[in-house]
């Protein structure tokens, strides 16, 4: 059964684009067989994608034995992309245009697709 009232999804998607001030490039993990063995790398599958980056949370983690424990900080971020953007877990998202000049790179941990999607949220960790 269909809904008697269709939501204005196209209009909402256009409205969401107004809140994506930055640009990003998406890189996908690839392996290439060469005579020297397997080469691992990242292939850019899309660039110039409108985006917005928001911090999600920061947490500390501890690994190793008590005497030599290694404490690290993990920053989780949400990268907002236009609805239906081709992005998967483990993809890398590099911010290519923003008021920041550091070119931050994030690795996707979880992609939040949903019904009536007007924007795609990607939970990421900051890697560089």
pLDDT at 56: 80
pLDDT of 114 reads 84
Alpha helices, DSSP H, located in 1-128:
9-17
How much is the pTM?
A: 0.80
Query: For position 60, what pLDDT does the model report?
Result: 59
Q: State pLDDT tens for residues 72-97.
A: 667 899 999 999 999 999 999 999 87
The tokens for 15 are 């409205």
Q: Given this model, what pLDDT does residue 105 score? A: 94
75 class by beta-carbon count within 10 Å (0-12 exposed, 13-18 middle, 19+ buried): middle
Q: What is the pLDDT of residue 61?
A: 58
Using an 8 Å Cβ cutoff, are 27 and 92 in contact?
yes
Residue 7 is predicted with a pLDDT of: 79
Q: Candidates 2.40.10.270, 3.40.50.300, 3.40.50.11810, 3.30.70.270; correct CATH number of 9-126? A: 2.40.10.270
Q: Note whether 127 and 80 are within 8 A (CB).
A: no
The Cα 73–Cα 75 span in angstroms is: 6
pLDDT for 124 equals: 95
- How confident is the prediction along the chain (128 residues), in pLDDT tens digits per residue? 566 677 799 999 999 999 999 999 999 999 999 899 999 999 999 999 999 999 887 665 555 555 555 666 678 999 999 999 999 999 999 998 767 666 899 999 999 888 889 999 999 999 98
Q: How far is CA 71 from CA 64, 66, 76, 109, 124, in A?
A: 9, 11, 16, 21, 20
């Amino acid at each position: 059964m269909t809904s008697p009232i269709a939501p204005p999804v196209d209009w909402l998607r256009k409205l969401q684009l107004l809140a994506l001030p930055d640009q990003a490039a998406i890189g996908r993990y690839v392996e290439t067989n060469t005579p020297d063995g397997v080469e691992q790398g990242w292939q850019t599958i899309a660039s110039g994608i409108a985006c917005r980056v928001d911090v999600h949370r920061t947490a500390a983690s501890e690994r190793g034995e008590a005497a030599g424990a290694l404490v690290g900080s993990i920053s989780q971020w949400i990268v907002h992309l236009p609805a239906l953007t081709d992005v998967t877990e483990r993809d890398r998202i590099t911010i290519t245009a923003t008021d920041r000049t550091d070119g931050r790179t994030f690795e996707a941990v979880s992609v939040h697709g949903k019904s009536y999607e007007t924007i795609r949220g990607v939970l990421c960790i900051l890697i560089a």
